[in-house]
Chains A and B, each alone.
Chain A
Amino acid sequence: MRKIETRHWTFLGLFVCIGLVMLINVTVDHPVSAQTQKMYDFIDSLPSGSVLIVSFDHEASSLPEIRPIALAILRHAFSRGHRLIGVALLSEGTAIGYRLMRKTAAEYGRKYGRDYVYLGFKPQYIAAILSMGESIPRTFPQDYLGRSYENLELLNGVRNYDDVAAVISITDGSLTTHWMEYGSARYGIRILSGMTAAMVTTFDPYVDSGQMYCLVAGLRGAAEYERLINYKGGGTRGMLAQTTAHLYVILLVVLGNVIYFKSRRKRTTR
């Protein structure tokens, strides 16, 4: 039998911590950050019926973190009566995006073709972003379900980014950079984003310079957004587990350093 090493105990500790808190139904209170508030205010301030593009630029691996963000934003947009166009610039996001839009649209009684459409995936994201700036119908002659662009009520009058209020990129990587570099810089479309917490520092310079209007970051961002729309979803539920994992990691760092300094002192006194 293999010897149980220190790392195995750390793994077990994390598993027990997260497993236990998942069984407890406690809501963690947290303030709403300025960025999340800005996203909420923007969507809230748009006139009802405004057209927004929601781009699902993520893979399946980040779904537990991305899904609550996307659902919160979609719920808010649908509740305000906005019309949504879904696209995906990563193939894996295609099916996920369609499911999320269909689910939230059903919750608010929104009709496909009139209140929302899903155009699906287009390969080569830079070319797709630039091409949509010239002509969305030429880039997506058909929607995800194979219906012609002209036959979809929502899309009548939507030719390019000029007819869209903003693009919301739901991302787990740096793909939103291309939305800013090509969609925003070339065609002037406003870019907002919901992203994994790990990507925030990558986009901080863009938010600071105004190239990105605002962002909702990570599970905490999702929980903040859910608080604003008064909905308890995956973000709120996951916050306790995330907080526990953070505290566990902090504890391990402190413990590791205490052991390190003690052993160093022992070596010096010898």
Chain B
Amino acid sequence: MNRKIALVICFLFGLVMFLQYFSQHQVARSVNQAVLEYWQIIFAFTLLVGVASVIKSNVAQMRRGQDRSYRLVTLIGLVSMPLLALVWGIKADTPFMWVFENVQAPMQSTVFALLAFFVASASFRGFRARSVPAAILLLSALVILLSRSAVGSSLFPQLTGVADWIRNYPSMSARRAILIGIGLGSLTTSLRVVLGIERTWLGGRK
């Protein structure tokens, strides 16, 4: 019975949201606005569920003695940031912002910057012209890379044209095919969910 109620609610909301999209009537616009506001409220609650899940999982792993120090850092971060925000707020020049700007942002930038070193290492050890497709990929990557650097486009002005051709034809065709595939897949899945054919979101049982 509970599953049927959920399916009916899903179908009704799917239908209403679909129909309101094509209407400029005041009632349709108000319904849309109200649903969007509830969507954001529900999302805030899902965040709470996520935080509770992270705490539960980390505490359980710590009890088993797995990576205790790392998990402790995670939990300290998880508790201290909301605490700082609740006590001093999140506006400029607060402790919360100080931690964000002086701890979180530099740490994230550092981890992201490490990518450059891994790319350098991988380009030396793994980027080999072992076959014709690999050679084409390699050549395309070199052309794009060189065209994006200031030296490449200055030394070989035609390089930008070649790089643009690679981006505008082979690359874009592949990208479009992927996007159309994703679009059709999303449409089909949405229809299956709204019509009650796809029910795994209810918990997986039939």
Distance in angstroms from B94 CB to nearest chain A CB is 10
**Which residues in B have their C-beta under 8 angstroms from that of A10?**
117, 120-121, 124
**Which residues in A have their C-beta under 8 angstroms from that of B92?**
95, 98-99, 102
* A124 in contact with B43 (CB, 8 Å): yes
CA distance A99 to B102 in the complex (A): 14
A79 within 8 A of B: no
Q: A201-B175, A204-B175 are in contact. Are A220 and B127 (CB under 8 A)?
A: no
Distance in angstroms from B100 CB to nearest chain A CB is 6
Stretch at the interface among B8-16, B61-69, B147-155: B147-155
Q: A7-B121, A14-B117, A260-B128 are in contact. Are A28 and B150 (CB under 8 A)?
A: yes
CA distance A11 to B118 in the complex (A): 8
* B40 in contact with A123 (CB, 8 Å): yes
**Which residues in B have their C-beta under 8 angstroms from that of A7?**
121, 124-125
CA distance A39 to B36 in the complex (A): 31
- Chain A, range 46-98, C-beta contacts under 8 Å to B: 59-64, 92, 94-96, 98
**Which residues in A have their C-beta under 8 angstroms from that of B125?**
6-7, 256
* A31, A59, A239, A246: the one within 8 Å of B145 (CB): A246
B101 within 8 A of A: yes
B108 within 8 A of A: yes
Chain B interface size range = 35 or more
Q: For residue A245, which residue of chain B has the nearest CB?
A: B116
CA distance A155 to B130 in the complex (A): 60
- Chain B, range 124-156, C-beta contacts under 8 Å to A: 124-125, 127-130, 138, 141-142, 145-146, 148-154
* A61 in contact with B150 (CB, 8 Å): no
**Which residues in B have their C-beta under 8 angstroms from that of A11?**
117, 120-121
A111 within 8 A of B: no
* A134, A204, A220, A249: the one within 8 Å of B36 (CB): A134
Is the contact region of chain B dominated by helix, strand, or loop, or is it mixed? Answer: helix
CA distance A96 to B104 in the complex (A): 12
* A64 in contact with B146 (CB, 8 Å): no
* B142 in contact with A253 (CB, 8 Å): yes
B32 within 8 A of A: yes
Q: A63-B105, A64-B109, A249-B145 are in contact. Are A134 and B33 (CB under 8 A)?
A: yes
* B120 in contact with A61 (CB, 8 Å): no
Q: For residue B101, which residue of chain A has the nearest CB?
A: A95
* B32 in contact with A134 (CB, 8 Å): yes
* B119 in contact with A249 (CB, 8 Å): yes
Q: A204-B171, A220-B150 are in contact. Are A144 and B108 (CB under 8 A)?
A: no
Distance in angstroms from A231 CB to nearest chain B CB is 17
Distance in angstroms from A116 CB to nearest chain B CB is 14
- Chain A, range 223-252, C-beta contacts under 8 Å to B: 239-240, 242-243, 245-250, 252
B29 within 8 A of A: yes
A37 within 8 A of B: no
Distance in angstroms from B104 CB to nearest chain A CB is 6
* B129 in contact with A257 (CB, 8 Å): yes
Distance in angstroms from A67 CB to nearest chain B CB is 10
Q: For residue A218, which residue of chain B has the nearest CB?
A: B148
A-B contact pairs, 29 of them (CB 8 A): A10-B120, A10-B124, A11-B117, A14-B116, A28-B151, A30-B153, A30-B154, A60-B100, A61-B112, A63-B108, A64-B113, A99-B92, A123-B40, A124-B39, A127-B40, A127-B43, A130-B36, A131-B36, A135-B33, A197-B148, A200-B167, A220-B148, A242-B149, A243-B150, A247-B149, A253-B123, A255-B124, A256-B127, A260-B128
Binding site for A on B (CB under 8 A): 21, 29, 32-33, 36-37, 39-40, 43-44, 47, 90-92, 97, 100-101, 104-105, 108-109, 111-113, 116-117, 119-121, 123-125, 127-130, 138, 141-142, 145-146, 148-154, 160, 167-168, 171-172, 175-176, 179
